[in-house]
Amino acid sequence: MTAAAHIKETTAHQRRAADPGISAFVSANAGAGKTRVLTNRVARLLLEGVDPSTILCITFTKAAAAEMAERLFKLLGDWALAGDADLRKALVDLDGDDRARGPDELARARRLFARALETPGGLKIQTIHSFCESVLKRFPLEAGVAPGFSVIEDIESADLKRMAIDSVAAQADPGVAAAFARLLSRMTGAALRERLGEAVSKRRLFARAGEIGWAGLAGELA
């Protein structure tokens, strides 16, 4: 198969995966065009009149979410400024359908950039963590969290753990002081601080162990 044939076949597969009328699972190497497929799929949803606020795109990293949002807005921005001939070609490249595109369809494509910008809260292109956070903020009572909570960054979390450990160590009663001394006889101060930081992160498990005992906790984990 020639290079041109490979490109044509790949483009056909990408257009099919970007068709919002089907459910698709895409697996491909890095740089193969997965983000482009997702961007085109969202663009085609918008072209079909889907409300931008009802579209949700979830990625693993903030960088991937930012890249996808940038690509989508660039695509819609290009459509908003393109002449009729260029816009018709762009739409054919998007879905492979070379049918005639009337003035109304071209005008609708040009308005998508403004629609996306005016969507309350913006287009939902988020990481898994930010999506889960938004759900918790909508239903704090059901989730058992304080309304209006905020998520701290990893650096701030590490600082709070360090301060908590230092405070306990400075105000330790004889029993806690003896426990510190015993642990320090077996590991360095840095290693002890690391272990205590991990313990603070898993404090709910320790609280559960206090309720049902270590044997019961081991059974739950198993």
> Does the pLDDT at position 1 exceed 80?
no
Task: Label residue 72 by pLDDT band (50, 70, 90).
Answer: very high
Q: State the pLDDT at residue 80.
A: 94
A 10 A CB-CB count for 7 gives: 10
pTM of the model: 0.67
- H helices of the chain, where? 3-17, 34-47, 62-81, 84-95, 103-118, 128-138, 140-143, 154-170, 174-184, 189-201, 203-221
Task: Label residue 153 by pLDDT band (50, 70, 90).
Answer: confident
pLDDT tens string 7-31: 888 888 888 888 888 888 888 888 8
**What Rg value do the Cα atoms of the chain yield, rounded?**
27
How many Å apart are CA 220 and CA 222, to the nearest integer?
Answer: 5
Locate 134 and state its tokens. 């938004």
Helix, strand, coil % in the chain, rounded to nearest 5 = 70, 5, 25
Locate 202 and state its tokens. 């898993």
pLDDT tens string 170-179: 887 888 888 8
